[in-house]
A and B are shown apart, each in its own frame.
Chain A
Amino acid sequence: MNYAVLTELLSASIRIATPLLLVALGGVISELAGTFAVGVEGMMLMGAFGGAVTALVTKNLVFGLVASCICAVLPAIIIAVATVKFRADQMVTGLAANIFALGFTSFLLRALFGGKAPVMVLPTIGAIHIPWLSQLPIAGPILFDEPLMTYLAFLLVIPVHWFLRHTQAGLTLRAVGENPEAAFSVGANPHRIRMMAILACGVFAGLGGATLSLQELGTFTDGMTNGRGFLALAAIIVGRWMPFRLMWGCLLIGAASALALNIQGWGLPVSSYVIQMTPYLIALAVLCGIGRKARMPAAIGKAFIRN
């Protein structure tokens, strides 16, 4: 493997990891507050849809990004109300929201464009060369020659980490995920905090979806997230609910996908479908490897009932 292939591979890993990382950062906020983030797949799909359609109509990237967040918050609101107010099962509610998002985007895509799904070709967000840093050997083309959302995603890890570890709001949020009764007894409002966390998760997942439709693929098709939200959930577990560690989880899955894409070009006698399985298989293998060492937030999945 020569130098150019290696830099290309690493650079692609980072690009592919970007939407996963954004979604995983949102998911970790929701899960640390005590709500399983199974609905991120649907939020991501809504975000990808809202971003692509708005960017297509307005020809404006910023509007697209804003719209992706707004669209993704819609299923987040449904999940928040159902799980927090109605104490619905979090896992299955998340799945229901995913089904809803799949149908809703597919329905709207046709309804908005007169009965037929349009073939979208959007200009993708291009790479930004950071002056002189992108000239560095090896690190330059890998780290400092990436598109906008990639920088954003990796920079966001720092404030999310800071928020969860070092601010009062973040600590209260985690307390709600560990022991809502105790948090309630010292004046926190677990219901409100959990709902806010799910909405925040929606915003992040929406940006992740927009990254997929506006930066990576430049189009929207039915069900285009194709399990990426679930891979992000796997990355959260791999990262044991810590922002910096889950970043490595996302990069691992990104590297597996990038390698899979590259292998197809090398003409090895492996079919493309087997290669497409690799990210899922790697996620499963890593989850098995971690096993019981992963400790979930103690109160995750349990509804808080105010007496």
Chain B
Amino acid sequence: MRDGALRNKEEKDRTAAKDQPADSVSVSDSRNGSSDFWQRLGLAILAIGLSFAVSAIFIWLSGKNPLLAYWSMLGGAFGSIDSVAFALNKSTPYVLAGVGVALCFRARVINIGGEGQIAVGGIAASWVALNCSDLPGVCLIPLAILAGSGAGAIWAAIPAAMRLARGVHEVLGTLLMNFVGVLLVSEALHGSMGEVGAGFPQSPLFPEQAWLPPLIPDTDLHIGIILAVVAVVVCHFGFWHTPWGFRLRLIGSTDKAAAYAGVSAARGVAGVMLLAGGLAGVAGAVEVLGVHYRLIQGFSQGFGFNAVAIALLASLNPVAVLPAGLFFGFLEAGALAMQREIGVPSSLIYVIQGLTMIFVLCALGISWRRQRV
């Protein structure tokens, strides 16, 4: 069934590709024209639709009614103010990390180290929150977030340096650093930062002035989502309207053109990795300061790969990361309700994510013939 659907899509994309100018590598061209915008949006919706359809088959095979399952998913995502707040909080780190990943991919740097960068960002923010508790909240929270972003940037700088100095591919570098970063959280909780006598590896509760203030009173929704929106807007502006963004686009399109224009690919790669790491670090800080109010073992699990999936769904367009991230946040909130009410395991969302990514990649592969991601 999926093959048939894919073939259909291929035909659609082929006809769409004919309408486009043949050289997809030129820098000025990749500005979104309006027809291009609708095409990208259609692609994203098609990919999501297909992966939901395939996942419905899995639900049906497991003996549950897929329509009921998706209905309870919808209710779980949008049913109440609390569930919307939960979903928005879920989206916040995804959007923050996803924007960075999208920019990296645009410069042809495959940074999949979000998980580790978020983990160390969380550690640094927690350390500040626990050890500088004399400070008032207005100073403490920015300081903790800053510490988180610094730690994330350092974590990203290591694989960047390994690539630039030693030619180690960033995919392996960032992947292996993820495992080290996640283990560092366990190590921190095992050592000086852990709460004595707690049944689970976690830090003591942060002092209350370190908690992110709520955006809407009496809900769990914290101000992190504002940070995410700001990050998206700044990255969008920076990418499309500054010399820095132009250089990134140049590096991403062709090495030769970049070298000819005197743009240093190495500096571009280092810069975009630092930026992405910093944003992922902020995501980690926001997660511990706004949701858990403490550092918890494994708090970053799956975040890094979610960020990659979101960046792809957004067609690597910084501003589109916001809706894509929100979609994944609501998906997750819905999946938990689905598991509770219908008994469909919530790990189905990883199936949906993986399939969505594959469908988007296939469509991108056809439409951008020569370009890598």
Contacts and interface: CB of A to CB of B under 8 A. Distances in A.
Interface in A273-291: 273-274, 276-277, 280-281, 283-284, 287-288, 291
Contact of A92 (B167, B312, B343, B366): B312
B365 interface: yes
Interface stretch (B24-32, B130-138, B219-227, B350-358): B350-358
Interface residues of A, number: 56
A110 B369 CA distance: 40
Nearest to A281: B180
Contacts of A226: 179
Contacts of B184: 273, 277
Given A86-B6, A96-B361, A288-B162, A237 B354 contact: no
B58 A288 contact: no
A36 B170 CA distance: 13
B373 A103 contact: no
Interface in B145-163: 162
Contacts of A272: 190
A111 to B, nearest CB: 4
B358 A107 contact: no
B187 A99 contact: no
A288 B351 contact: no
Given A86-B6, A103-B351, A288-B166, A303 B180 contact: no
Contact of A111 (B62, B312, B366): B62
Q: Interface of chain B, helix or strand or loop or mixed?
A: helix
A110 B166 CA distance: 44
Contacts of B293: none
A284 B358 contact: no
Given A38-B171, A107-B345, A89 B364 contact: yes
Interface in A80-99: 81-83, 86-89, 91-93, 95-99
Interface in A233-285: 233-234, 237, 271-274, 276-277, 280-281, 283-284
A196 interface: no
B127 interface: no
Contacts of B348: 103, 107
A233 B190 contact: no
A96 B309 contact: yes
B190 A271 contact: yes
A123 interface: no
Interface string A97-117: 111111110111011100100
A233 B175 CA distance: 11
B109 to A, nearest CB: 11
Interface in B164-211: 165-168, 171-173, 175-180, 183-184, 186-187, 190-191
A230 B172 contact: yes
A107 B351 contact: yes
Q: Range of interface residues on chain B?
A: 35 or more
B361 A82 contact: yes
Contacts of A294: 167
Nearest to A87: B365
- In terms of DSSP, what is the predominant structure of the interface of chain A? helix
A78 interface: yes
Nearest to A96: B357
A292 B168 CA distance: 7
Contact of B358 (A82, A103, A104, A222): A82
Interface string B2-22: 010010001000000000000
Contacts of B179: 226-227, 277, 280
A208 interface: no
Contacts of B363: 86
A88 B308 contact: no
Contacts of A107: 58, 62, 345, 347-348, 350-351
A262 to B, nearest CB: 18
A95 B372 contact: no
Nearest to B358: A96
Contact of B175 (A100, A108, A230, A273): A230
Interface string A108-132: 1011100100000000000000000
Interface in A209-247: 222, 226-227, 230-231, 233-234, 237
Q: Taking each of A99, A102, A280, A288, which has the highest tally of chain B beta carbons within 10 Å of its own beta carbon?
A: A99
A202 interface: no
Contacts of A34: none
6 A-B pairs closest in CB distance: A103-B350, A100-B354, A111-B62, A96-B357, A106-B347, A86-B362
14 contacts: A83-B365, A92-B373, A96-B309, A101-B354, A102-B347, A103-B351, A107-B348, A107-B351, A111-B63, A112-B62, A115-B343, A280-B177, A280-B180, A284-B162
Given A92-B357, A99-B357, 5 more contacts: A38-B171, A95-B357, A103-B347, A226-B179, A287-B166
Interface of A: 36, 38, 78, 81-83, 86-89, 91-93, 95-104, 106-108, 110-112, 115, 222, 226-227, 230-231, 233-234, 237, 271-274, 276-277, 280-281, 283-284, 287-288, 291-292, 294, 301, 303, 305
Interface of B: 3, 6, 10, 58, 61-63, 110, 112, 162, 165-168, 171-173, 175-180, 183-184, 186-187, 190-191, 305, 308-309, 312, 343-345, 347-355, 357-358, 361-366, 369, 372-373
